[in-house]
Structure 1
Amino acid sequence: MCGLSVFFARTALITEDKLQCLQRVSDRMSVRGPDSSGHWVSACNRLALAHRRLAIQDLSPAGHQPMSEPSGRYTIVFNGEIYNFSELRSQLAQRGVVFQGHSDTEVLIHSYAAWGLDCLSRLRGMFAFVIWDAVEHVLFAARDAFGIKPLYWAQDATAGGVWFASQVKALAMALPRMTESAAGRAGFLIWGHIPEPFTPFNEIRALPAGHYLLLRAGETSQPTPRRWFDLGASFIEWSAASSFRPKSEADLCDYVRYSLLDSVHAHRIADVPVGVFLSAGLDSSTLAALCAEDGSNDNLRAVTLGFSEYRARLQDEVPLATELAERLGAKHTVMWVSKSDFLRDFDHILDVMDQPSIDGANTYYVSKLAHQSGLKVAISGLGGDELFGGYGSFRQVPQLAALPSFLQYLGRPARALLEPFLLNWKPKLAGVLEYSGSYERAYLLRRALFMPWELHRVLEPEQAAEGLAALSTLPQLRSSHASVSDGQLKVSLLESQWYMRNQLLRDSDWASMAHSLELRVPLVDLEFWRRMAPLRLKPTRVSKQVMAQTPRLALTLEQIRRKKTGFAIPITRWFAESINEGEQNLSGGLGFRHWAVNLYPRWLQTIKK
C-alpha cells in the first residue's frame, strides 16, 4: 500500500515549478508510505513520477519505486497488492524474463510489458498504477475491478498537462484554483458519500473502478476513461461457465470453505505480519477462524474496537470477539473509544478523510489500534454482506420493486400530501409509492439520506438542480443492474457498485492509510466472486450462514444467531450532540442526515494550499 503521484506534460516540457508541485503532492501523502520515497523524470522531460512506499512485499531496495524494467522502456508507480504475483512470475520466467528482486511491483511491470492491456484480466489483487512507455511515449493508468484502491486525475491549464494522485487532498496541492462541484455536494447529501467519478471539486475526477486511461504525448484531446471490467456481465459469464452443482449441503459447504481458504491464503501473503479486524460479526469471525487455520504467515493477531457507550450492552462486540480470539489462540488487543476520544480526534479525522463521508471513523480507530499493535497489514471482513445478501435491502428492495409501476403516477401527489407530516419523523416514507416499481428507484429510497426532492431545503435551488442533472442518479443505478434478471443479484450489484465501492472501500483506504496500515479484503476478491457467482442464483442461493459453517473450529450458536448491529451509530450521535442544534429542523432530525449537512462545510475547510 502506497501513495503515487504523476504529472504528464503532453504538449511541452516539464518546468521546475511543476516538479516542485509534484513534491508537494507527494509530501501530502507521506503517511501512506513512510518507509521510503522516490522521484523519476523521463528522458524526454514530459513525465514525472513520485512514490511513497509502505513496504509489504520484498522489503529490500529492490522493491523501491518508481521502478523501471532493465530495458528502460517501461517505468511504473503502483499502489496496492497483486496476490497472484508468484504465479505470474513463473509464467513470465518461462518467457525469458529475469527478475532483479521479489516484489509484486516488478511482476506487474513485466506483465504489462508482456501482455499490454490484457495483463489487467490476469491480475488478482487491488491496484491503481501508472506505467510510462518511453518508446511509444504513452502513459497507461488503470484501477482494479472493484475499486479497492483509489486513483484521481485532473487536467492542468498548461502544457496539456494531466495530474494523477492516490488522494483528492494531495491532488488539490497541484491545482491553483478549484471550484466546488454541485454534483459532489448533491451526491454526498443523497448518499452520505460522493459517487464516482465525481469528487468535491469540478477539476478532480476519480478514475472509475474497472477502468483505464491511455494518454499519448502530443495529443490534446479530453482524457476518456475506458472500461476493462464489468461486474454484471462477469457474473453472467462466471455463472454460465461454472460446472459446480452441489449434491448436498455438505458438498456446498466444502466448496465454499475451499474457496474462502484460497482467498484468505492469497490475502495473507506478505513479508510482514498480517493481523485481522475482529468483531462479533459473521464475516470477521469466519475470516479470523480461517486465518488461524492458514499457515502462510505468523500466529494470528487480532484487534477489536469497543465503544464505551455500548459496554455490557447488546451492541457490545467485545465479549464475543474476545471469546473467539481465546478459542483461536490469537494475540488479541482491544481498544475502547469514548465520546471524549472522538471529540479530541475529530479534527484529525477530518484532516485525513480524503473525501467527505458519514462513515469511516470506526475503521480509523481500529486501524489506529492495529498500527499501535505493530501491524502493517490487516484483514477486514468487508464485502460479505454485498456478496451473501446480508443487508435488509436484499429483502426490502425486491419487495418495493415488485409493486405495480402505475403506483409511481400516484406517488408525487401522495408525497406532497404526506411530506409535511413526516418531515421530522420518517421523511423518506412519503416517497414509497413514487419510488416503487423498479430496482433503481427502490434502492435509492432504501439507501438515500436525502431524497432528490428534499435537496432544495439543504442546498440552493440552482445548485441542487445542477447537481441532480449531472448525477443522473436513476439512469446510473439502472445501468448497474440491467444486465441481470435475478432480483437478489440485482441488489448485490447495486450494493457492491454503490455502497461498498463509494463508501466502504473508499473509507477503508483513507482511514487505514491515516495510520500507515494496509487493509486487505478477502471477501472482495475476483477469484472468490467468480467461484461464488453460480451459488448466488436459485436454487442454490448460498448465504452467510453457510459461510459461517466453513471453519474447522465452529463458531458458537451465539455468534451465528447474533443480530446485526450498527457499528457506527454512537459516533453520529456524538457528533450531533457536539454541534449547534440549530440545524436540526433543516436536516430533518439528528443522526446521519444531521451529520451530513454539517460535516460537508467542515470538510471543505480542511483543504489547505
Structure 2
Amino acid sequence: MCGITGLFAFNEIGRMQAIHMHKATEVIAHRGPNASDVYSSHFVHLGHRRLSIIDLSEGANQPMHDASGRYTIVFNGEIYNYQEIKEQLKNKGVNFVTSSDTEVLLYAYIHYGKECINLFHGFFGFAIYDNEDNSLFIARDRMGIKPLLYSIDEDKVVFGSEMISLLQFGIEKEVDPTSIFQLLQLTYIPTPDSVFKNIKKLPQGHYMFIKGKEVSIEPYYQLKKQCISPLNLTYEEAQEELLKVMDASIKERMVSDVPLGAFLSGGIDSSAVVAMASKHTEQLQTFSIGYKDEPLFDETHYAELVAKKYNTDHTAFKLTPDDFYNHLFGMLDSYAEPFADASALAVNILCRETKKKVTVALSGDGADEMFAGYNKHLGEWKSRNQGILAKVIKAGLPLLKQLPQSRNSALGNKFRQAIKFGEGLKLSPQERYWFQCCWRDTETTRSLLSLDFKKQIDESAFLQRKAQLTQHINGEGINDVLFSDLDGLLVNDMLHKVDSMSMLNSLEVRVPFLDHRVVEFAMRLPSEYKIHGNMKKRILQDAFKPLLPEELYKRPKHGFEVPLMNGYKTALRSWVNEMLDKDFVANQGVFDVNYTESLKNTIFNSSNYDQNQVWSILVLQNWWKKYNPSLNKA
C-alpha cells in the first residue's frame, strides 16, 4: 500500500504546475515511508510514495517502467492473485525482473488493456501512462477500499490518493456549500463530490482515461448488476458456502513479506476473521482497543476470549480520555477534507499502536453493511414488518421525546433509538433510509446555518445527491438497504476512516469481507438469511458459531464510540471556545451566531445533547481555520 499523485498537462500553462510534483508527493510521505520518486516527461508527471509489503527490494520501487520504457505505473494497493496472473503472462512471453505485484499489474495492462481490471483480486488506485499514444489510464478498485481524487480544468488533470496532494497544485479552495450541508447531516461528504467545488472523488468501480485533451470516466464494475440472479441455496448450504468464500479470501490476504496481524474487537466480524486467519499462520498477532474508565464502551474482555481460543499473540490497548485528547489535534490536522466520524479517534490510536508490531493488519470491516449488522437495519426490518412494539412506540412518541437522550448511557441510548425509530415510522422507505443515515435531520441542519449560507446551498444539487444515495431503496426485504449502505456509508465513511487513519500511521489494513466474490455471494442471498426477528447478521452468526466463544453471542453490539462529552467541558474547553468564537463564526459566515452561542452554553452546562452532532461542527470549524477556504458570500 502506498500513495500516488500525478499531473497530465494539456498545454504549457498546465505543464508549469509540474514544479509542484515533488511537494505533492512529499505531503503524503506517511502513506509510504520506505521509498519515493517522481517520473517526468514533457506533459505527464507521476509521483509515488512506497510502503513496502510485497518484494521489499529496490527493484520494486515506483514509478515503475516496462522493459521497453513505453509504459510507466504508479500503484497504491495490493493484487492478491498476482502470482496466478503472472503465470498467464509468462506463458505470453513476459520476462519479469521483480517479484512484485506492481510489475504484474503493469504487464497485465499492456497485454489486456482496460479489461485487465476484471482479473484483479484486491484493492487499488493506480495510473499507467503510455508515452507512445500519450494516454493515461487511472482506476479505482471495485468496492472503493482505496481512495482516488482528481481535478480537471482547461489546462490539466491532477490526481492523487489524498486531497492534500491536489492542493499543492494551486487549486482554488472554493467551498461547495452543498457539500458542507451534507457533511453536517451525514458526518461525511459522499462520492463523487468533495468539500471543494473543483475537486472530485473517482467513484468505486470506475476508471478515467485521458488521451490528448479528451477525458472520459466510465464504470467497469457495478455491484447490483453482478447480483441480479439470487442464489438457490438452502440456509444450511449458504452457511457452508459462506465459510468457503471467506476462507479463500482470508488465505489470499495472508500473503505478505512483512509482519502481519489482525484487529480483534471482540465482535462477530473481526472474531470470524481471526478464527479463519489463525489456520493459515503459526501464531497470529491480534490487537484490540478498550477504555479504562468507560465500561459501557469497553469490549476487550470478548476479544481476549477469542485470542485465548486461538492462541493469538494478543495486545489490548486500554485508553484513557487523555489518550484521545493527546492525539486529537494530530488526527484533525491530517484531514484535508472535514470528516466527522468521531470513532476515527479510536481507529487512529489502534493503528498507531498496531504499527509498532506489524505492517499489515486484517480487519472485519464491511460485514455489517453486507449482512445487516446495524441497529438501523433491525429498525428498518421492524418498520417494514410492523408489530405491536412499533405501534406502541409510534403512539408513545410525544412522551418518549421528553426523556433524556444520550449515547453515553445505556438507558439514554435506548430512548434515543426508540425516538428515531418512531420518527422513521412516519416516513416512506426512501425518506426513512435518509433519516436513518443522518446524525442531524435536514431541517434541523438548515436551522443552524446563517441566512447567507442557506442561500448558497444548491437545493437542486442536494436533492440529486440525496436521490443518488437512496436510489436502491424499494421497501422490499432488506437487501435494498444493504446495497445503499455499500454504495454510500461503507465507501464514504467506514472505508475512508480506515484508509485515512491506517495510512496516517503507515499501516496497511486488508478487509477480507470485501473481496468482491464474498460481497457478490452475500448480496445474492435472500434478506431473511441476514435478518429475522431480533437477529441481525443471522447467517454470519450461525455460520461461525462453531468457531467462536459462546459468550460473543450473549452480548449487545456496541459501535466504536469515543467518549467526548466530558472532554468538551474540561481538557477541550478552550478549543471548543476557540472553534465557536463569536467573531470567528460571524466572519466565517456558515453558522447562525445565535445558534453557536446557545450551543456553547449547552455544551458547558448540560449533558442532554448528542456529542457526535457537536463533533461534526467542531471538526468543520477546525478544518476551516487550517485551510482558510474561500466562500462566495451572498
* Corresponding residue to 1:564 among 534, 557, 566: 557
Q: Distance in 2 between matches of 1:89 and 1:453?
A: 55
Aligned position for 1:5 = 5
Report the alpha carbon displacement of residue 350 of structure 1 after superposing the two structures with TM.
0.5
Report the alpha carbon displacement of residue 564 of structure 1 after superposing the two structures with TM.
0.2
Aligned position for 1:525 = 515
Could you say what secondary structure the match of 2:48 adopts?
strand
Corresponding letter in the other structure for 1:245? L
Corresponding letter in the other structure for 1:111? A
Partner deviation per Cα, 1:228-281 (whole Å, 9 max, x = no partner) = 2212222215x3xx5x623x63x4432221111111111111111211001110
Report the alpha carbon displacement of residue 515 of structure 1 after superposing the two structures with TM.
0.7
Q: Distance in 2 between matches of 1:389 and 1:552?
A: 17
Q: Is the 8 A contact 1:535 1:541 kept in 2?
A: no
Aligned position for 1:212 = 207
- Call closer, same or farther: CA 1:441–1:517 in 2, change over 3 Å: same
Report the alpha carbon displacement of residue 399 of structure 1 after superposing the two structures with TM.
4.6
* Corresponding residue to 2:460 among 469, 483, 499: 469
Q: Is the 8 A contact 1:309 1:570 kept in 2?
A: no
Q: Is the 8 A contact 2:346 2:562 kept in 1?
A: no
Q: Which stretch shows the higher mean deviation, 576-585 or 391-400?
A: 576-585
- Call closer, same or farther: CA 1:173–1:432 in 2, change over 3 Å: farther
**Pair 1:245-2:237 in alignment:** no
Aligned position for 1:343 = 325
Corresponding letter in the other structure for 2:2? C
Q: Distance in 2 between matches of 1:396 and 1:156?
A: 45
Corresponding letter in the other structure for 2:471? S
- Call closer, same or farther: CA 1:95–1:436 in 2, change over 3 Å: farther
Q: Distance in 1 between matches of 2:436 and 2:601?
A: 22
- Call closer, same or farther: CA 1:585–1:214 in 2, change over 3 Å: farther
Report the alpha carbon displacement of residue 533 of structure 1 after superposing the two structures with TM.
3.2
- Call closer, same or farther: CA 1:19–1:11 in 2, change over 3 Å: closer
Aligned position for 2:102 = 105
Report sequence identity in percent: 27
- Call closer, same or farther: CA 1:211–1:340 in 2, change over 3 Å: same
Q: Is the 8 A contact 1:424 1:585 kept in 2?
A: no
Report the alpha carbon displacement of residue 606 of structure 1 after superposing the two structures with TM.
3.0
Aligned position for 1:456 = 446
Aligned position for 2:120 = 123
Corresponding letter in the other structure for 1:590? D
Report the alpha carbon displacement of residue 97 of structure 1 after superposing the two structures with TM.
1.8
Corresponding letter in the other structure for 1:386? E
**Pair 1:163-2:158 in alignment:** yes
TM-score, scaled to structure 1:
0.87
**Pair 1:599-2:582 in alignment:** no
* Corresponding residue to 2:308 among 326, 332, 347: 326
- Call closer, same or farther: CA 1:572–1:535 in 2, change over 3 Å: farther
Q: Is the 8 A contact 1:67 1:75 kept in 2?
A: yes
Partner deviation per Cα, 1:393-414 (whole Å, 9 max, x = no partner) = 22323554689xxxxxxx9xxx
**Within-5 A mapping of 1:179-578:** 179-219=174-214, 223-237=215-229, 239=230, 242=231, 245-246=233-234, 249=236, 251-295=237-281, 299-310=283-294, 313-359=295-341, 360-373=344-357, 375-400=358-383, 436-464=426-454, 466-472=457-463, 473-481=465-473, 486-538=476-528, 544-548=537-541, 550=543, 554-571=547-564, 574-575=567-568, 578=572
Could you say what secondary structure the match of 2:525 adopts?
helix
Q: Which stretch shows the higher mean deviation, 108-117 or 550-559?
A: 550-559
- Call closer, same or farther: CA 1:532–1:456 in 2, change over 3 Å: closer
Report the alpha carbon displacement of residue 372 of structure 1 after superposing the two structures with TM.
1.6
- Call closer, same or farther: CA 1:585–1:144 in 2, change over 3 Å: farther
Structure 2 unaligned regions, length at least 5: 387-393, 407-415, 578-596, 630-634
Q: Which stretch shows the higher mean deviation, 77-86 or 589-598?
A: 589-598
Corresponding letter in the other structure for 2:618? N
Aligned position for 2:390 = none
- Call closer, same or farther: CA 1:340–1:437 in 2, change over 3 Å: closer
Q: Distance in 2 between matches of 1:184 and 1:540?
A: 33
Q: Distance in 2 between matches of 1:265 and 1:85?
A: 14
Could you say what secondary structure the match of 2:173 adopts?
coil
Report the alpha carbon displacement of residue 69 of structure 1 after superposing the two structures with TM.
1.2
Could you say what secondary structure the match of 1:449 adopts?
coil
Report the alpha carbon displacement of residue 531 of structure 1 after superposing the two structures with TM.
2.7
Could you say what secondary structure the match of 1:570 adopts?
coil
Q: Distance in 1 between matches of 2:381 and 2:530?
A: 18
Q: Which stretch shows the higher mean deviation, 98-107 or 498-507?
A: 98-107
Q: Distance in 2 between matches of 1:85 and 1:53?
A: 18
Aligned position for 1:406 = none
- Call closer, same or farther: CA 1:399–1:82 in 2, change over 3 Å: same
Q: Distance in 1 between matches of 2:425 and 2:177?
A: 24
Q: Distance in 2 between matches of 1:31 and 1:208?
A: 24
Q: Is the 8 A contact 1:128 1:149 kept in 2?
A: yes
- Call closer, same or farther: CA 1:546–1:537 in 2, change over 3 Å: closer
Aligned position for 2:138 = 141
Could you say what secondary structure the match of 1:118 adopts?
helix
Q: Distance in 1 between matches of 2:242 and 2:111?
A: 34
Partner deviation per Cα, 1:411-466 (whole Å, 9 max, x = no partner) = 9xxx9x99x98999979969967885533211111120222212222223453452
* Corresponding residue to 1:177 among 147, 164, 172: 172
Corresponding letter in the other structure for 1:556? P
Q: Distance in 2 between matches of 1:478 and 1:47?
A: 38
Partner deviation per Cα, 1:207-236 (whole Å, 9 max, x = no partner) = 1111111112244xxx45322221222221
- Call closer, same or farther: CA 1:379–1:536 in 2, change over 3 Å: farther
Q: Is the 8 A contact 2:531 2:537 kept in 1?
A: no
Q: Distance in 2 between matches of 1:83 and 1:68?
A: 21
Q: Distance in 1 between matches of 2:297 and 2:421?
A: 31
- Call closer, same or farther: CA 1:431–1:532 in 2, change over 3 Å: closer
Q: Is the 8 A contact 1:169 1:607 kept in 2?
A: no
Corresponding letter in the other structure for 1:321? A
- Call closer, same or farther: CA 1:495–1:434 in 2, change over 3 Å: closer
Q: Distance in 1 between matches of 2:511 and 2:274?
A: 12
Runs of 4+ in 1 over 6 A off after TM superposition: 420-428, 430-435, 539-543, 585-588
Q: Is the 8 A contact 1:146 1:210 kept in 2?
A: yes
The number of residue pairs the alignment matches comes to 577
Q: Distance in 2 between matches of 1:20 and 1:428?
A: 56
Q: Distance in 1 between matches of 2:601 and 2:447?
A: 10
Q: Distance in 1 between matches of 2:233 and 2:30?
A: 47
Q: Is the 8 A contact 1:210 1:230 kept in 2?
A: yes
Could you say what secondary structure the match of 2:471 adopts?
helix
Q: Which stretch shows the higher mean deviation, 434-443 or 525-534?
A: 434-443
Q: Distance in 2 between matches of 1:550 and 1:349?
A: 37
Q: Is the 8 A contact 1:435 1:445 kept in 2?
A: no
Report the alpha carbon displacement of residue 183 of structure 1 after superposing the two structures with TM.
2.1
Q: Is the 8 A contact 1:576 1:595 kept in 2?
A: no
Report the alpha carbon displacement of residue 52 of structure 1 after superposing the two structures with TM.
0.1
Q: Distance in 2 between matches of 1:423 and 1:453?
A: 22
Q: Which stretch shows the higher mean deviation, 553-562 or 459-468?
A: 459-468
TM-score, scaled to structure 2:
0.84
Report the alpha carbon displacement of residue 334 of structure 1 after superposing the two structures with TM.
1.7
Q: Distance in 1 between matches of 2:66 and 2:127?
A: 14
Q: Which stretch shows the higher mean deviation, 522-531 or 48-57?
A: 522-531
Q: Distance in 1 between matches of 2:565 and 2:492?
A: 19
Corresponding letter in the other structure for 2:134? H
